[in-house]
A = this chain, B = another copy of it.
Amino acid sequence: MKAIAVEPGAGEPTLVERPRPEPEAGEALVRTLRVGVDGTDHEVIAGHHGEVPPGEDRLVLGHEAVGVVADPNGTDLEEGEYVVPTVRRPPDGTNEYFERGEPDMAPEGEYLERGIVGAHGFMAEYFTSPAETLVPIPERLAHLGFLVEPISVSEKAIEHAVAARSAFEWEPESALVLGNGSLGLLTLAMLEEVLGFDRTYCLGRRDRPDPTIDIIDELGATYVDSRETPVPEIPDEHESVDFVYEATGYAKHAFEPIEALAPNGVAALVGVPEPWSFEIDGGRLHREFVLHNKALVGSVNSHRGHFEAATDTLEGLPEWLFDDLVTGVYDLSEYERAFETGDEIVKTAVEFAPVR
């Protein structure tokens, strides 16, 4: 079967031929339909992140997949059922994090990540996976199933942020998303359309006309150009916000939200920057953080419950959003196009088999 793999640092993925996998006991065989491409894939391709499985020279890419069960292999799944696989797997048998259904809380060394860290991904015509890692989705969402994984990452981050405000009465009204990439835009849509925030803002550094700014406008959110209004100036220019979601991976965006948050607000961070030293007014930030009861939570990955919540969220988002957000779904014969980047490209996927 065909698969899309990368030799770390080679700079571009290649099409490789691999044997079709045989499901082991407890695993199902899945026919891959679509697999999304995101920033993590580009980091793996560039050799900045990720790890090839031991003893191999290439990593099969892909961690945002949707497929259809080809062989349930004695599991509770049914042939023809649409499924989205979770990403983390235990490195040796299992461990406490996987046993309690919280692989997303496993520390480094206690997990592999399919398509990223030490385990082949889903960019192949077929993949196998333990039944409990395959989350069923309705047939009507199958064409968008590759968005469940990125949305699940936000489901978790938002769940942790809300938990951090659960010791008192917190009724957030305003939210700021840092980053107008596909994850930022999906999260902005969640906040606007599903979670009922009254006022939302999305930070980017692009000029109009731009397809991401069009989506921000269409959602009824306010676009904030970081070149004109850096994060610490947002309260003066717009308002202090109850919730900040950081999806830029820009290191200053871990600290600047303290100044953009309203009293009792919380910021969720999901970006993963490289080391970078800079100066901050740590005294002022510390003081403001304490005197106004603010909180910061870091969040990575997601567990099965977040995938299930993401499926519900996906169903609650308007159809036009996907038309505007998904700028390209490419057949395996032109898979390279899914990895192109540019201001006109928002979210892409590779199609391994047509979605009925």
Residues of A within 8 A of B (CB): 100, 102, 104-105, 107-108, 159-160, 162-169, 251-255, 262-264, 269-300
With A and B bound together, what is the CA distance between A285 and B269 in angstroms?
11
Assuming the contacts A270-B290, A292-B298, A298-B290, asked whether A275 and B264 have C-beta atoms less than 8 A apart, the reply is: no
Judge whether A290 and B272 touch: CB under 8 Å.
yes
Instruction: Give chain B residues whose Cβ lies under 8 Å from the Cβ of A280.
Output: 277-280, 282
Judge whether A279 and B278 touch: CB under 8 Å.
yes
With A and B bound together, what is the CA distance between A160 and B293 in angstroms?
9
With A and B bound together, what is the CA distance between A160 and B164 in angstroms?
7
Known: A254-B286, A293-B298. 20 other contacts (CB 8 A): A100-B169, A105-B263, A107-B263, A108-B263, A162-B167, A163-B167, A164-B295, A166-B166, A251-B285, A269-B290, A271-B290, A272-B290, A273-B286, A275-B283, A276-B282, A277-B280, A277-B283, A290-B298, A294-B297, A295-B296
Picked from B166, B169, B252, B298, the residue with its CB within 8 Å of the CB of A289 is B298
Judge whether B278 and A282 touch: CB under 8 Å.
yes
Judge whether B263 and A286 touch: CB under 8 Å.
no
Assuming the contacts A163-B163, A252-B282, asked whether A274 and B295 have C-beta atoms less than 8 A apart, the reply is: no
With A and B bound together, what is the CA distance between A287 and B296 in angstroms?
13
Instruction: Give chain B residues whose Cβ lies under 8 Å from the Cβ of A296.
Output: 289, 295-297
CB closest chain-B residue, reference A294:
B298
Instruction: Give chain B residues whose Cβ lies under 8 Å from the Cβ of A269.
Output: 286, 289-290
Picked from B162, B262, B272, the residue with its CB within 8 Å of the CB of A287 is B272
With A and B bound together, what is the CA distance between A296 and B164 in angstroms?
9
With A and B bound together, what is the CA distance between A288 and B300 in angstroms?
10
